[in-house]
Amino acid sequence: MFHPDNPLIMSISPKVHLQSNRLLFFGSLLFFLGLVVGLFVPILENPRMGLSSHLEGIMNGIFLLVLGIIWPKINLSQRMLNLTFWLTIYGSFANYLVVLIAAATGSGRMMPLAGGKEGPALVEGLVTFMLISLSLAMLTVSVLVLSGLYLRLRHS
């Protein structure tokens, strides 16, 4: 739908605009958190995983920033955009957090980068659950975003 005053400008619903701004904010926040973790890498139980958490925060922050920029161009129903938004927020922050938990506790049975280290069973269970759920969330996000961009491409 085009803006009534200028046919070259797309009209964006307030909900889509708000979600786009939130993605930009959360992307900046996650990028910042990734930088902060980088300061503490040497004192973590597993510094290798600490470095990984640092990089996950930065990369997922950039992902959220890019997604926030292209958000109005994704051609999905508001319901699917809402689903995509919340799965994205969960998946990106969980990805950063689970690697940080593994770094701080020495856990990471499911992570080859952990170097074979294992932590307490409860923490390993939490890490396993988070890794599986965030992987499914981010795969779903990727499919939905690609679908929305493809639909926009077909209708342009």
Summarised one tens digit per residue, pLDDT across range 86-143 is 999 999 999 999 999 999 998 877 776 666 777 788 999 999 999 999 999 999 999 9
Mean pLDDT of 59-74: 98
Write down the pLDDT at residue 2: 45
Q: Tokens representing 138?
A: 């981010």
Tell me how far apart the alpha carbons of residues 53 and 20 are, in angstroms, rounded to a whole number.
25
pLDDT band at 77 (very low <50, low <70, confident <90, very high): very high
Hey, what's the torsion of the CAs at 131, 136, 138, 139, to 10 degrees?
A: 130
DSSP, collapsed to helix, strand or coil, labels residue 2 as strand
Chain-centroid distance, C-alpha 129: 17
